[in-house]
Structure formats: structure tokens, C-alpha cells
Amino acid sequence: MKLTSSIYALAAICGIAAAEPTAPAQKANCSYHSSPDISDIAGTSYASLVKVANVPSGPTYRYIFSEPSSSLKPYLLFIHGFPSTTFDWRHQIDYFVSRGYGIVAPDLLGFGGTDNSLDLEEFTLKRQVMDIGAILDCEGIDNVFAIGHDFGSVILSRVITYLGERVKGSAFVGVGYSPPPMAFNQAGVEAINNASLDAIGYPPFGYWYFMNEDDVAPIMDEHFDSAYTLTYSSNATYLKEHFSPVGAYKKWLLADRIAPWTTFITEDEKDIFENITMSQGGFDGPVKSYKSLMRDYNAADEKAIPKSEAAIKHPVLLLTASKDVVGIASSQITNTAPYAADIRIKSVDAGHFLQVEKPDEVSLGIHNFVREVMAENVCL
């Protein structure tokens, strides 16, 4: 009721007719679950916005869906990273839904309420992007502003490649663009780590080797608090010493160490994250996107992308995190700016999970970007 009232108030201020939007046309090949299980996210503000659908390729996806309050408002597609789910976009979902924007925010394959798979082939970037496109088709959505964080920025990079005509603008949060051909296989990660060791004194992707080990998921499951407190730590020294270096993260977990509690996440939020993760099978699904990359399942798809497709043909926002020791700000600019003719770069004084640590600043940055691209309409 409060959300509806705020939308009508905004509509009155902007002179927009606030009639209930009509339901978008849905494709016949979308099969919806009428009573989805939302017990793991019952404590969230967006539980009532959940939809669950089978996409044509087979998996069942859980996603947040909210229609825009008027035809002037675009849809925003939020793509989460690791080890997150849609829950890490909770502040942005609240912000933009309250302002009448359309929202699509899926739990990616293997995460949250979306299906897992035994087949690493299903976790290739192209397969996941095609599934995201199928969700947009299910909801009758032609185009979106696409926003990615962490591994979600990697997915976003291929949304641009494969669904670029449907993207009005893209916002990279923390982690920038990954131009094709992507180098995140075993050899590529090793090259990045070696170069970084010389340049900055530590390998930012040293933990990727652990993500590729067969026992990574059960170790993370068994030592959940150890994994969570370090991954979401705001202490750069802890991350440089115990997360990024080769072998350090596994050693930390097996010792069951606990990092000092971060200041931007409450105990209740941590409990919700744990409930979402562990009630859906733990970390087995989330680590498979890393394994798919490290084991070269993406090689053929990446090789097939023409070099001419590397350029981003729409406006881009890059929000860097000045305190991020994994997604190092200067590297994100170097990886993104040469491929984006129309780019805005803004630094946020935060660590890796900037959309959680500085939610208002990140939300406003995305909002201003969308309004600028949509011709400065202040009522957007």
C-alpha cells in the first residue's frame, strides 16, 4: 500500500497518468510457478515481487519483477555477482521500485532460488545470457538499462555482446567491462596474477584457483561464517593477506577464522543471506561459474566473437570502488574506457560490495545516469 501511494504521488508531481499499467504480453513458451517458495527471502522487502519461471533452455529461474509506473520509466536489469544473490541489490530494488522504475533482477543459475545443474556447460556466459534474454522475453520487455556487479559485470559484458540491441545503457558497479575474447581461464588468471604481483605486490585473483577445486563448495558450506565475514569484510588488509593470495582463502576457511564484523551489514541481513544460500544447496551452484571459466568451457564462444563486436555502442557508467583490493579501480578503467566512446566514470569511497556499503550513492549514481541517457527527464 505504501509503495502504491508513493508511485501515485510521484505521478501527480510529474503530471503522469497513474493508471495501473497493463500486464506485458508473455510468450507461450514461458511456464510460471503460481506459488513459488519464498520462505528463504520472507524477511526481505521484495519478497512480494518474486516470480518463478521455466525458461526454454530448461532451468527454472527465480527473479524479482516489478512493472514501471508509466511508459516513461524504463526497465532496469540487475545482475548480481559472487557469492551474492538478488539480495545484494536489495537497496537498489527498494530505491528504484519506490520511484516507479521497472525491475528485473534474477538469481543467476546455481544461485538463490534458481536451479542448479551438474553440467558446467550450462554455466557458460552465453548460455546464462540467453536465459536472461528469455526472462525478458517472458515478460515482454524489449530493452533495459543493464547493471552488473562483480561476476555480474562479467555476465553484463556478454549481455552487451549477445543482446546489445536490447540495452539502452549499461552500468558496471565495482568491476568493469570484460572485452572479448575473455581471458579468465587458468592461463589467463595466472597471467593477471603474475602481472599484478609485480605491479601492486599481490595477486588479486589468487582465490580463483580455490574456486576451481572440487572441494571448494563443501569447505565453504562447513565454514560459512568464516567465508562470509572475510568475503564481505571492509578491512583491506585482511582481504590482501587472507583472500586474494594463492591458497590464502582456503587456509583461512580450514582454520575457521572469523574476520571483524563489517559495519555496513546487520546481523539480520547476514542471517537472511545464510538462509538463502544454505536452503538452496550452499555454495555448490555459485562456484560453478568460476569452474566453467577456469576449465575453458567458454573458449569456443569467446573465440567466435568478432573483434569488431568488442566496442560498446551505448552509454556506459562505471562506478569504481576506491578501496576494492580485488576489482582494483585503475584496472577497471583500463579494461572499460577504451571500448566505450560514451562513458561516465565515478569513484565511490567503498570496498568491493559498494552497492551494499554505500547504497544511496550507488543508487543515485545509477539514477542520474539513467536520467541523463533518457534526456534529462527529472521525473525519471
58-83 confidence digits (pLDDT tens): 999 999 999 999 999 999 999 999 99
For 103: left if phi > 0, alpha if psi spans -120 to 50, otherwise beta; the answer is beta
Q: What is the pLDDT of residue 30?
A: 82
Residue 109, Cβ density class (10 Å: 0-12 exposed, 13-18 middle, ≥19 buried) = buried
User: Is the Cβ–Cβ distance between 79 and 152 less than 8 Å?
Assistant: yes
Cα–chain-centroid distance for residue 295? 22
Cα 201 from Cα 374, distance rounded (Å): 42
Query: Which parts of the chain sit beneath pLDDT 70?
Result: 1-28, 376-380
Q: What is the pLDDT of residue 379?
A: 60
User: What predicted TM-score, i.e. pTM, was given to this entire model?
Assistant: 0.93
Cα 234 from Cα 294, distance rounded (Å): 27
Which residues of the chain form beta strands (DSSP E)? 31-32, 50-54, 60-66, 75-79, 102-106, 144-149, 167-173, 316-321, 343-348
